Amino acid sequence: MGNSKYIEIIARAVIVHRGKILLCKKKKANYYFLPGGHVEFGESTSIALAREIREELGVRSKNIKFLTLMENIFRYRKGVAHEINFIYRVSLKDNNVRAMENHLQFSWIPLKELCKHKVLPKVIEKELNALTKGTK
């Protein structure tokens, strides 16, 4: 990512439970992002998201509902990255989650405190702010 000339397809989850949203971050990063990951060739975005949640959190998802589509073009390392994000509202069968991959950490952030945290991509901010106000 960053110096390649292709568009990445990403499936991401908005997971809200008891007034908190589940966010992910790389352990050494200073920002959060929505859980999810890359869509593999021949895989639907909703199936990819269920797979990524299972791989990263060790839990199964349910009620996967499409919310929105976002394009994100940003500077990354010494290049430019370009991704298309399919955003879904998701529920988990078990909300006691833990990172299954060593480089990731997950946090339940109160929706009321979301504005205090840096969440990327920036274009998701509007959607998340709408959630905190209960309009979605």
Q: What pLDDT, in 10s, does the model give residues 82-119?
A: 999 999 999 999 888 888 888 899 999 998 888 888 89
What is the pLDDT, as a whole number, of residue 136? Answer: 47
Predicted model pTM: 0.86
Name which CATH class applies to 8-132. alpha beta
Q: Is the pLDDT of residue 29 over 50?
A: yes
Q: Give the E-state strand segments of 44-133 in sequence order.
A: 61-76, 79-92, 104-110
Q: Which residue has the tokens 């979605």?
A: 136
Q: Where are the domains of the chain?
A: 8-132
Tokens of 116: 């205090």
Identity of the amino acid at 22:
L
Which of these, 21, 97, 34, lies nearest to 61 by C-alpha position? 97
87-112 as b/e: b if 16+ CB within 10 A: bbbbebeeeebeeeeeebebeebebe
- The answer to which of 24-28, 65-69, 105-109, 131-135 has the lowest mean pLDDT is 131-135
